A and B are shown apart, each in its own frame.
Chain A
Amino acid sequence: MKKTVLLLVLIVVLPGALLWAQQPAAPQGDFVPLSEIPQTEQLPAAPMVIGAYAFVWVALLGYVWSLWRRMTKLERELADLQRRVPKH
């Protein structure tokens, strides 16, 4: 009887123990917390600061360019119209 109980325990416990023992330390599908982010994984701040500053310049210069283009076109139109308007 004792041998049968021992055998049953072994049948139940052993596969479980083996399964537990065979579990990988860090399953591939799970997220593993990290105490400290490696330097190579951190987002660098300098390109972001420079990128944001470059965007400000591009936006402002783009707007100035669009103003200049519109003004040039309008001045041409104005000169043309002033020639066509009869002088009193």
Chain B
Amino acid sequence: MTRIFVPLVLIAMVLFASAPLVVANAPVEQTMGLVQKIFYYHVPSAMLLFVSAFVCGIASAVFLFRRSAAADRVALAAGELVVLFGLIVLVTGPIWARKAWGVWWEWDARLTSSLLLWMIFVAYLMVRRFGGPGSEKLAGAMALFGMANVPFVYVSVNYWRTLHPKTSVVMTLAPGMRGAFWFCVAAFAILYLLLLTLRKRLEDQQAMVEQLYLAVEE
């Protein structure tokens, strides 16, 4: 992993530095105008929010059923990233909505379920942080519940009446917009991998420190 870490950092830096230019050169949307460009980092962040919730949920399941400490560390790292990318989604979305809909927030199915998903993972981190010994099992169950929510959040725009654009908007993008969008998705995905690796490494070191404390006490 260390061997590919530096090239990944370089690729992420190049992609993130050039992303504003790529987004600026993408065509302006006919109805929404310039504000639609928020889409290029709002949607990749939402994708990674979902991916991270799945990583956290699956790793928690492995931890709960196989007692794997390494899986628990992956789950914690992914849980923190759910909250980070969720925060980006929940801030950039309302900025776009203010211009596109005229309101910052609408209590519709997609927005409310996204907020609930984010709050489940905030609760997951709080249980991990303040729950005391054994709290990782309770948090693991919460992560499974959070992961189970993801499909509902995703399809909410197709089944309930909402102002939010439907899921089909990504697959039907105009050619000029499609390239810029997938460029941003690649940049965010590489960044996500890097952050997950770094956060997992931090958790590994934390485990090592705890073992050393025990060794010192003995």
Tell me, yes or no, whether B138 is within 8 Å of chain A by CB: no
Q: Total A-B residue pairs with C-beta atoms closer than 8 Å?
A: 74
Q: B35, B195, B202, B209: which contacts A49 (Cβ < 8 A)?
A: B35
- Pick the interface stretch among B88-96, B109-117, B146-154, B169-177: B88-96
Residues of A contacting B205 with CB < 8 Å?
71, 74-75, 78
B-contacting residues, A54-76, CB 8 Å: 55-56, 59-60, 63-64, 67, 70-71, 74-75
**Do residues A53 and B33 form an inter-chain contact, with CB atoms below 8 A?**
no
B-contacting residues, A18-65, CB 8 Å: 43, 45-46, 48-49, 51-53, 55-56, 59-60, 63-64
Residues of B contacting A45 with CB < 8 Å?
33-35, 99
A16 shortest CB reach to chain B, Å: 40
Q: A43, A51, A53, A63: which contacts B84 (Cβ < 8 A)?
A: A63
Residues of A contacting B156 with CB < 8 Å?
none
**Do residues B195 and A48 form an inter-chain contact, with CB atoms below 8 A?**
no
Q: B95, B199, B216: which contacts A52 (Cβ < 8 A)?
A: B95
**Do residues A67 and B202 form an inter-chain contact, with CB atoms below 8 A?**
yes
Q: How far, in whole Å, are A52 and B87 apart by their CA atoms in the complex?
A: 12
CB 8 Å contact bits of B180-218 with A (1 = contact, 0 = none): 000000000001000100110110011011001101100
Q: B37, B45, B99, B212: which contacts A81 (Cβ < 8 A)?
A: B212
Residues of B contacting A74 with CB < 8 Å?
202, 205-206, 209
Q: How large is the interface on A (under 10, 10 to 19, 20 to 34, 35 or more residues)?
A: 20 to 34
**Do residues A52 and B212 form an inter-chain contact, with CB atoms below 8 A?**
no
A-contacting residues, B85-135, CB 8 Å: 87-88, 91-92, 95-96, 98-99
Q: A46, A52, A77: which contacts B209 (Cβ < 8 A)?
A: A77
Question: Using a CB–CB distance below 8 Å, which chain A residues touch chain B?
Answer: 43, 45-46, 48-49, 51-53, 55-56, 59-60, 63-64, 67, 70-71, 74-75, 77-78, 81-82, 84-85
Question: Using a CB–CB distance below 8 Å, which chain B residues touch chain A?
Answer: 20, 33-35, 37-38, 41-42, 45, 84, 87-88, 91-92, 95-96, 98-99, 191, 195, 198-199, 201-202, 205-206, 208-209, 212-213, 215-216
Those 8 A-B pairs whose CB atoms lie nearest each other, nearest first: A45-B34, A81-B212, A45-B35, A52-B92, A52-B95, A52-B38, A74-B205, A49-B37
